[in-house]
Copies of this chain bind each other. A is one copy, B any other.
Amino acid sequence: MSDMEIIFLGTSSGTPTKKRNVSSIVIRRKSELLLFDVGEGTQRQMIISGIGLRKNVRIFISHMHGDHSSGLPSLLQSYSLLGREELLDVYGPKGIIEFALTNMRLLCFEPTYSLRIHVIKEGPILETSEYVIKALAVSHFIETYAFCLEEKQRPGKFNPQKARELGIPIRLWKKLQLGEKVIVNGREIDPSLVVSPPRRGRKVVISSDTEPLERMIEFARNADVLIHDSTYSEVHSDKAIRNYHSTAKAAAMIAKKANVRLLVLTHFSARYENVDSLVAEARSIFPNVIAAEDFLKIEVPYPE
């Protein structure tokens, strides 16, 4: 199993259907969950999917429409009922703090844990030693953000055979792996002799709800996975324009220009019981495309 997988918890737009819940996507990276959007019923989708209400989680809300955010209060409460004590970080646009606090007050619960709510703007919103999460302001009815998870470069691969050939004692290998020079028998050994160049990390982009956006191309450039709004088919492109959403075809054009590895269509209007035609529409532009469905898991391996 890859150490990164994307799990779709809700793939419908606006209202749920029998088969699709409203928006939520989780990226499991090592032991951490990064939860993007929390539509109504997300906590139950987490339970059904098998990932459960894991403690090591960060929550990101793209915009304050109910189908992307209204499951948040119940999720916060369930962490309380489970006796959570660890700090919980929530990131979202203006309105998120009042939304969380008012619902806690009116639904009569107080977290058993520290809750840190970050009001986000465009730009980097979180940086850890291993990855950065950036927000891009997109174009929808209200303030809305796309998100990009980008891993930092990883050190190159260490070549133990080469190291042995050069007579480097094992106790010095770690230093070389960390990019430091070492001295062996009076000779300076450069790490590039035994370590390949740094390798790029993985990149996953989630568009949230938006009309097709020129700026998305740069934001999603060379992404391993682009998950894009595909609310409508070309047949309903008038609705897409009116409702600040994208068609499958428009999503595919962005994927192509951004040179992504895989495009995943999601956020389908409830009018499409079957989304094969949307996939076909996108495939005519960009071949490596699939449709999300609830509980679909996509592993994200390291490049090559």
Contacts and interface: CB of A to CB of B under 8 A. Distances in A.
A71 B44 CA distance: 13
A259 interface: no
Interface string A26-69: 00000000000000110110011000010000000000111101
A108 B47 contact: no
Nearest to A44: B16
> Taking each of A15, A17, A71, A81, which has the highest tally of chain B beta carbons within 10 Å of its own beta carbon?
A15
A21 interface: yes
B107 A66 contact: yes
A42 to B, nearest CB: 9
A65 B81 CA distance: 12
A253 to B, nearest CB: 28
Interface in A144-169: none
A142 interface: yes
Interface in A67-121: 67, 69-71, 73-74, 77-78, 81-82, 95, 98-99, 102-103, 106-109
Interface of A: 14-18, 21-22, 40-41, 43-44, 47-48, 53, 64-67, 69-71, 73-74, 77-78, 81-82, 95, 98-99, 102-103, 106-109, 141-142
15 contacts: A15-B53, A15-B78, A16-B47, A17-B47, A22-B74, A40-B43, A40-B74, A41-B41, A64-B108, A65-B108, A69-B107, A70-B73, A70-B103, A102-B102, A108-B141
Given A15-B53, A15-B81, A67-B74, 10 more contacts: A17-B47, A40-B40, A40-B43, A40-B71, A64-B107, A64-B108, A65-B109, A66-B107, A98-B102, A102-B102
